[in-house]
Chain A
Amino acid sequence: MKILVCITHVPDTTSRISFTDNNTRFDTNGVQFIIGPYDDYALARAVELKEKMGATVTVLNVGGAETEPTIRKALAIGADDAIRVNAEPTDSFFVASQIAEHAKGFDLVLMGRESIDYNGGVVHAMVGEMLGVPSFSPVMKLDIEGTAVKMAREIEGGKEYLEASLPLVAGCQEPIAEWKIPNMRGIMSAKTKPLKVVEPKAVDKNVVVQKFELPAPKGAVKMIPADQMTDLVNRLKTEAKVL
């Protein structure tokens, strides 16, 4: 079985977000980058499947050269080889088009439920449509028997159990697998695993980011003594107007 895992290279979840160049560019100053937390679940499940039933795991990232340490980390966790599509991931359609270009021939394409920078939550569905194969997200459980795939997907206020067959695309979230931490042997072997850099295919962009904005700063918190809950309720009614 051939598994493709698509990973993002994103700011650590504790990062403060700011922009430069007149709010047109993300400020990477002092920011630590990680594999997207959901992509990490996808990768962990791929490695589990490889251990359980035998598979090759390829990771793919659409990004510039700066993402290579993140890709190497995925190789250290257990992927066999990697592809980097050398382009800035500007929008979901662009990224999905690049992924679809390389995803043919894979039995299973695993992604995260969403990227934590762009938060589209849509690349998996787009890739599924482009490849003409089913796609599901957010998948919390995924088991394979032959070509049959059994999944649990989170829906509003509950879960949906699904069956489909390979090939398919899944956007993953916990508790599909336990995050894996690379060990020494993994880190050493990752250095020599193949990482292929390819140029992007041309795509007409119909979505363009003009500028970024930060949310308006919060006003000061009003502290209410613990024995004044009637006062709090009054304020929620008349001051905040939310009750």
Chain B
Amino acid sequence: MSVLVFLESADGKVRKTSLEAVSYAVALGKPVTAIALGAVNAEELALAGKYGASKVLHASDERLNQPLVKAYASVIGKAMQDENAELLILANSSLGTPVAAKVAVKTGAAFVSNVVELPDTSSGFSVKRSIYTGKAFARVELKSGKKVLTLRKNAAELKEAGGQAEVKPYAVSLSEADFNAKITSTEKATGEVLLPEAEIVVSGGRGMKGPEHWGKLEELAHVLHAGTGCSKPVSDMGWRPHHEHVGQTGVKVAPQLYIAIGISGAIQHLAGVNSSKCIVVINKDPEAPFFKAADYGVVGDAFDVLPRLTEAIKAAK
């Protein structure tokens, strides 16, 4: 019996959230096999070993360079059987989550998404999952021999185990039917920190007054090596791209530090940030509801506080 982890990659690099999934699997104390698909750099594959996987399967078939859910689910479902894995673990993502769902249906595994911490195996196998958009949790029991979990960020601490994994090519047999869609193009913001993976997020709301002021916010994000986010009206007005919008109807983030600037703290916004470890709110209105959800608050004008904070961080480095 073993645990299989999907190593999701982008541009040849393994996603940090997938390495967290390896750490999660290792913490269960069973042998861990990781599987990567498509073009992935060799040193990136080796990372799985560093975090404690004992084996890495690499399906390098060219047709897998396009991350198509159906084909990925076929390969991973098959690997779960070949490896006799009782448990498959993936990071929640636009690829990992639907792949998990399909594998679960194929294999008859019990499937839980949005898992936030290690399982309780004292009697049976149960996990805690996030529900009501981060406003609550449910403890769910998985009652099947085979199980599939997708993890929220920070479900397990990223931990180096200092090992080495043997990387093995994994042969796939794919049919036409596995390619039921075509990705015609991709648009990706490059060179920035991906919001769902960011350890620090700097986010701006309507209080930032207009897209022309985002330079100040980006400068703070840059010195902190942070991802940038925004409130819904900001993306609705086109000040920022849609994928930066945080909240109930946008990205749910779970960073170590969330800095909100000129955001009122509507309940729909809070739903996307309440898993953050520490929240700093900067708002000129001392009555802004966001202060109630904050760890640290600064009452002041964003255009005055932002540069001061950026300077203070630079000075502390």
Contact = CB atoms under 8 A, between A and B. Distances in A.
B189 A206 contact: no
Contacts of B256: 242
Interface string B294-307: 11111111001100
Contact of A207 (B143, B224, B257): B143
B312 A212 contact: no
Contact of B186 (A124, A126, A161, A242): A161
Contacts of B184: 161-163
Chain A interface helix/strand/loop/mixed: mixed
B144 A223 contact: no
A153 B69 CA distance: 12
B280 interface: yes
A186 interface: no
Contact of B243 (A158, A211, A230): A158
A212 B121 CA distance: 18
B95 A222 contact: no
B248 A13 contact: yes
B242 interface: yes
Interface stretch (B29-37, B41-49, B102-110, B167-175): B102-110
Interface string B241-267: 011000011000000110000000001
Interface of B: 10, 69-70, 73, 92-95, 97-98, 100-102, 104-106, 108-114, 126, 128, 130-144, 180-189, 192, 194-197, 200, 224, 242-243, 248-249, 256-257, 267-268, 271, 274, 277-278, 280-281, 291-301, 304-305, 308-309, 311-313, 315-316
Interface of A: 11, 13-14, 16-17, 19, 37-38, 91-93, 96, 116-122, 124-126, 128-130, 133-138, 140, 153-164, 173-175, 205-215, 218-219, 221-227, 229-230, 232-237, 240, 242-243
Closest 10 CB pairs of A and B: A226-B300, A125-B101, A158-B188, A125-B98, A206-B110, A164-B181, A229-B312, A122-B101, A206-B144, A129-B105
